[in-house]
Structures are given as C-alpha cells and as structure tokens.
Amino acid sequence: MRFAIKRRILNIIAIIFILAILIFNKFFTGTAIGITLLILFLLSYFILTLILWRCPHCNSYLWKLAPFATHCPYCGNELE
C-alpha cells in the first residue's frame, strides 16, 4: 500500500475518532460503556498507527512525525 493512502486512511480514522468522542461524550458521559468504547478506540487507533505509520524506505515508526510532513526524520527520504 502506498504511503499517501495509509496517511489518508489514518487521517480519516482520526476524524471519525474525534466525531465519535463528541457523540459518545453527549450520550455516555461517565458511564462504563463510554469509557470502554473510548479505551477501545484509542487502543485500535494506536495499533493501526503502529502498523501503517511507517517510513516506506527505512520502515521506521514515524511516531514523532507531523501528519503532513513530506520527509522521513530518520532516513531523510521523501514520503510519497
């Protein structure tokens, strides 16, 4: 999968995640369901970034990279 597609997928998931938090916050504030869903979303997003958010050249995990950066901070190669 191309890096640009992975980046788009992660950005879309992040937007859905933020919307979901806003909706859940309205309906499930302080309930066990709300907290469980929040933890599940956070965990699944974290696992997804661990798998997808990697440099296509050196395969480093880009944890400190800004969402719209153009070059890898580790090998300096351009991210497609």
Instruction: Tell me the three state secondary structure of residue 12.
Output: helix
Contact status: 72 vs Zn ion (CB under 5 A): yes
- Contact (Cβ atoms closer than 8 angstroms) between residue 60 and residue 75: yes
Q: Smallest gap, in angstroms, from Cβ of residue 15 to Zn ion?
A: 26
Choose, by CB under 5 A, the member of 58, 63, 69, 78 that binds Zn ion.
58
Q: How far is the CB of 26 from Zn ion (least distance, A)?
A: 41
Residues that bind Zn ion (CB under 5 A): 55, 57-58, 72, 74-75
